[in-house]
Structure 1
């Protein structure tokens, strides 16, 4: 899949799948709510993720877990902007995870270089114009509605085909709104209006996203479908979110092998190793294939 190597404005070109580390400056995120709510702790955690091998740090101030209620614009700005400014001040590449245009704009002014909008520009009518005006890469995530009721919106015939088509339509909408096509990153939106079976189907066909010709971001970290897979064999209880990191690393390696541009994870170090292993294997395979192709027969 060649789309994973497309250059993006203001970002380096990696020779492997990138790693986006998550900093949730929230009290209620599903796996680490409250851990990094204090700005100083969030800043320290972001710098730690960079030291562990993150290529990007994704800072978010509003939980998008299933059932989450929205917070005010003022509260999201208060949580996000100082952390973005602090981490970016050290030279790190920052993404802001927000559905609000005002927050995206303020975060870019503070040093963010990617806008990661889980609504793909649909939750705030100004977001597309802000993305167009800043010129930074813009993540269009598959989204059908707010977290409070998104589980009710899962329902597909052909989940892979329908999700790709819906993202393609939203891509067209953001481009029509002024975003350069070269800014766009796409994300299947695992867990957003999806059943566990939907998530697995989308992961199995990451290569199908090549038809859009854009880099693909995969965010599977600690999500419900992994907890269900790893449920306790006796009680049937899903494995707790923070005990899903090994499975997340496996998904990261497999997504990298299928052409993902980057993976978004809570625990960085193991995934940073995994994507480097995948890249080394891919380069070796390509070299051996090339050597076989030019070797004389006999």
Structure 2
């Protein structure tokens, strides 16, 4: 009876793509479910040679091969573009990371940015460019790839896909609005999302004229769309760091780096139907960014004090005039 159960009890499956066969379409599968204990009980009660009934539930797939052929990759679900600045090496890192993200995700599959892009090494084509490390700007192999993950993050939310892992940067990014970035690091933070739609999706990333564009192509069955917004909810004060500097006279200070405040932000995902009616608004993420610290150089160089001197008195060399005595004159009374 258990053998028959395994043969007849099948899960229904939608038509899909075969990842191992060049993504060719696989036809749908109809299924049925019934209770094994009830079927065994009915079998035991039945007389030999007589038929018996077992209640079963037919499982009908919602997407047939015909549906998939007709609707596969026909809609742009979400699209986002950022401007890429910096050195030519950084731009190449952004472009290369984007090219590696051109993949297909079947329903239920999860995308991992780190797994898809791979380790950022020179052997894999990446070069040294500016990146943040422990609050400082350093030259790092793969610098700039966070712009690719952040651009893709925006396209994913606009496609109304399920984000399963996202971390904001330490500092506010300049290439996306505050609260809408996604930092990544090999062995550290990853960016992940899931295809929670019924149809397969395809990620298309392109780079041209210093612009990186991420598109999510799929099937929009109901015409709904998403608006992705964010707002700054407060400031985070910066710290001031003082450093002794023996090249600056004692008692003086020089600003080596001006400080700037960080901030707090919250983002929202607003879903609208095809007629523009708001269906839902949910908080997408909260973000916290540190401020860039100010660095003040404090002078420690000793400066010798020159003693003050009293000016000498110059003698008067002008000739002395003799004194004149005026004798009293006699007067005659009138």
TM range (shorter): under 0.3
Q: Which has the higher contact order (CA 8 A, sep 6+)?
A: 1
- Report which of the two has the higher share of strand: 2
TM-score of the pair, normalised by structure 1: 0.20
Bigger Cα Rg: 2
